[in-house]
Chains A and B, each alone.
Chain A
Amino acid sequence: MDQRQELEAVPHSAGLARRALGNASVLMSGTVLLAILIIAVIAPLIAPYDPYAHDLSRRLLPPIFYDGFDPAHLLGTDPFGRDYLSRLIYGARISLIIGISVMFISGLIGTTLGLIAGYFGGRTDQVIMFVINTRLALPIFLVAMSVVVVFGPSITGTILTISLFLWDRFAVVVRSATQQAASQDYVMAARSIGCSNRYILVGEIGPNLVNAVIVIGTIEMAYAILIEAALSFLGFGVQEPTPSWGLMLAQARQYLFFDSWLLYIPGAALFGLALAINLLGDGLRDLLVAGDRG
């Protein structure tokens, strides 16, 4: 089509970094995410109290935006008298550890399977598609809860279980991207000069998938964080007294009527973190994936 060719006649001149800085959503969400990451890493330095320290004489103090708050506890205290701000700060650690680990493990599983399925096709592809379908047929919460019943609760267990459930989108996207890439001329060329499958997969096709994998990675990281929170909320994820936002919400459930702020603070933190990750993913998609097409 002439129309398209004419539109594409002008090359992209702006560099990726400059475009990233010009992209408001990437800039803002990236800053928020970086801030949460730093807070989580240096939690012991900035948390005003020990997140595990009970003080039953100071239970359920309201946070700063309520009347009669205690300046010593900016976000109030929970039903055990633990400082809510400190628990919130430490809770970010759990969320990030789980989000990042799941992103890497499920990304590794999904990308590998997707590459193999997309590149080799045929029977291999059918088997892997079947595995994806089988995974989708299993309800994540029920299986994750059964796993806790069987093996007992642990952070590692939670990470592994969620990872085993969130690789499918990586696999589907990488598979179709690989199918497309494998039919490109440069891959044909590499094949015709006798490059090994491994070289072609890693050296020729891999770089083309990086963008898509990064974008999916952000989506899955946010999703993993939400699932961990939901599992902890149900009592089948992180266990007391470890500070987790999902657990804080479970506790808040008993105080919905009189102390609904117990609900708003960790919920808003959870929502804000997931939002920042998703917005970063959306922004990266605009920059990376759309940038490919010109």
Chain B
Amino acid sequence: MILFVLKRLFSAFLTLLVVSVLIFLLAHLAGDPAIAIAGKESTAEDIARIRVHYGFDRPLIEQYFAWCGRALSGDFGRSYHYQQTVSDMVMTRLPITLTLGVSALCFALAISLPLGIFAAIRPNSLIDRISLVIAVVGQAMPTFWFALVMIVFFGLTLRWLPISGNASWQNFIMPTIALGYFATPALMRLTRAGMIDALESDYIRTARAKGLGHASILFKHALRNVMIPVVSVSAVQFGAMLGGSIVIEQIFALQGIGWLSYDATVRSDLPVVQAITLIIAVFYVLLTLAADLINALLDPRIRIG
């Protein structure tokens, strides 16, 4: 188990290393950051002074390590546009995006787990067909269009829900549904397919031969095996939702890091973009790590090799 955790930690670290290099390089391909900071009307001397001040004159590798070192201590530099430290900007926005991500994942699981399980128990039943429609429609639905249509109906026509901002919990309802629905088809299909496989498995036949009740067969014997891939995919989907929140936050003017990253990209505010990309990658790596550890607890074949 300890060896497994160490191996996983090492690969997580390696992933972050490569991702950070990519992010750093991408930002530096963008041209001279000194010009971006100084503004278009600045003189050559201004630019040269800024270049020295920010260390842009040093070799790339040195700049990378300096950037990494600062990033590790939570210092992502200052925004080119807003005269604020990036970490302050990001930290005030992060809770909003995390709230959205967690509620969207809960929404997706609340729909896909019960429907997927029931659809597997009764294939071709009405519930199975309904869940199939939900999955097929969800897979083809453009998330941002779905969000806009919801705004028209529930925001503008019915006036039930606020359409922008993050003042109250009501502001999170439509973004949660839009983002959560995006993750639902994959989770539902996985749950249904996993449950069907489990119910046809030899160990479920053994459980039935033991005379166990339906609840025990379903929830003790089948579900735990079904949950193992669901946990992994939930982590990947959560990461994808953090990345995808940029579209949803922009539409609902929900001022989380997705909204901030859009704003920063439009303004070519590179330190902010770099920091947010890195933070999303860190979250992804931590989430998949957590999922692997949860699965190691669920599945002894991972824990005891």
Contacts and interface: CB of A to CB of B under 8 A. Distances in A.
Task: Let me know if chains A and B touch directly in the complex, using CB atoms closer than 8 Å.
Answer: yes
Interface of A: 130, 133-134, 136-143, 145-147, 149-151, 219, 222, 226, 229-230, 233-236, 249, 252-253, 256-257, 260, 263-264, 267, 270-271, 274-275, 277-279, 282
Contact of A229 (B142, B236, B261, B284): B142
A138 B20 CA distance: 10
Given A138-B19, A141-B246, A275-B136, A256 B151 contact: yes
B243 A249 contact: no
Interface string B232-271: 0000100100111011001100000000011001101000
A226 B144 CA distance: 9
Interface string B1-27: 000000000010011101100100011
Contacts of A257: 152, 156
A282 B251 CA distance: 31
Contacts of A140: 243
B152 A260 contact: yes
Contacts of A229: 142, 144-145
Interface in B155-170: 156
Interface stretch (B63-71, B88-96, B105-113, B274-282): B274-282
Contacts of B156: 256-257, 260
Interface string B109-144: 000000000000000000000000000110111111
B14 A130 contact: yes
6 contacts: A133-B11, A133-B288, A136-B284, A145-B265, A260-B152, A282-B136
The dominant DSSP class at the A interface is helix
A139 B243 contact: yes
A146 B265 contact: yes
Nearest to A252: B148
B188 interface: no
A256 B151 CA distance: 8
A271 B142 contact: yes
A219 B138 CA distance: 13
Interface residues of B, number: 48
Interface string B212-240: 00000000000000000000000010010
Interface of B: 11, 14-16, 18-19, 22, 26-27, 29-31, 136-137, 139-145, 148-149, 151-152, 156, 236, 239, 242-244, 246-247, 250-251, 261-262, 265-266, 268, 273, 276-277, 280-281, 284-285, 288
A152 B141 CA distance: 28
Contacts of B142: 226, 229-230, 249, 267, 270-271, 274
A275 B185 CA distance: 13
Contacts of A256: 148, 151-152, 156
Given A136-B236, A137-B15, A275-B137, A150 B29 contact: yes
A141 B26 CA distance: 14
Contacts of B139: 219, 222, 274, 278
A236 B23 CA distance: 18
Which residue, of B15, B19, B250, has the highest number of chain A Cβ atoms within 10 A? B15
A224 to B, nearest CB: 12
The dominant DSSP class at the B interface is helix
Nearest to B251: A253
Which residue, of A142, A253, A271, A277, has the highest number of chain B Cβ atoms within 10 A? A142
A289 to B, nearest CB: 12
A274 B185 CA distance: 14
A7 B105 CA distance: 40
A267 B30 CA distance: 33
A236 B266 CA distance: 9
Given A137-B15, A249-B145, A263 B140 contact: no
A209 to B, nearest CB: 20
A142 B277 contact: yes
B281 A137 contact: yes
A252 B15 CA distance: 40
B145 A149 contact: no
Given A263-B152, A267-B149, A274 B26 contact: no
A139 B277 contact: yes
B167 to A, nearest CB: 20
Nearest to A148: B265
Contacts of A136: 236, 239, 284, 288
A136 B247 CA distance: 18
Nearest to B28: A150
A3 to B, nearest CB: 10
A254 to B, nearest CB: 11
